[in-house]
Amino acid sequence: MKIIVIGGTGLIGSKTVAILRQGGHEVVAASPKSGINTITGEGLKEAMAGAQVVIDLANSPSFEDKAVLEFFETSGRNLLAAEAAAGGPAPCRAIHRRNRPDARQRLLPRQGRPREN
């Protein structure tokens, strides 16, 4: 199975890549260091070709609310576009810590946050 690990050279990503490779998977450790950049889109389409799973472990280079939001919005848009250009979305996508209680606080500024339903 071909698995793309966005942030695959970082602290968590590199460990994830090693575990997946030990399991016999074809793993692409995607990061700007490897020529795959989710912000600029560089190398994304080629990396996504034939992928069954995308694991997004990327982290914003800044923790300022606006910068974090812009990072994840841009990265997410570029990932979806690259998946579509490569022949459709990967059937499975995982985003690290998206369900943590503090994730919403880290991704959205306090003012103008949508109300919870």
pLDDT score, position 15: 94
Which of 6, 22, 26, 30 has the alpha carbon at shortest distance from 93? 6
pLDDT score, position 93: 62
Q: pLDDT tens digit string along 6-65?
A: 999 999 999 999 999 999 999 999 999 999 999 999 999 999 988 888 899 988 888 888
pLDDT score, position 111: 45
Q: Are 2 and 25 in contact (CB under 8 A)?
A: yes
Reported as a pLDDT band with limits 50, 70 and 90, residue 5 is: very high
The two three-digit tokens of residue 65, written as one number? 């609310």
Global pTM value: 0.77
The gap from C-alpha 3 to its chain's centroid, in whole angstroms, comes to: 12
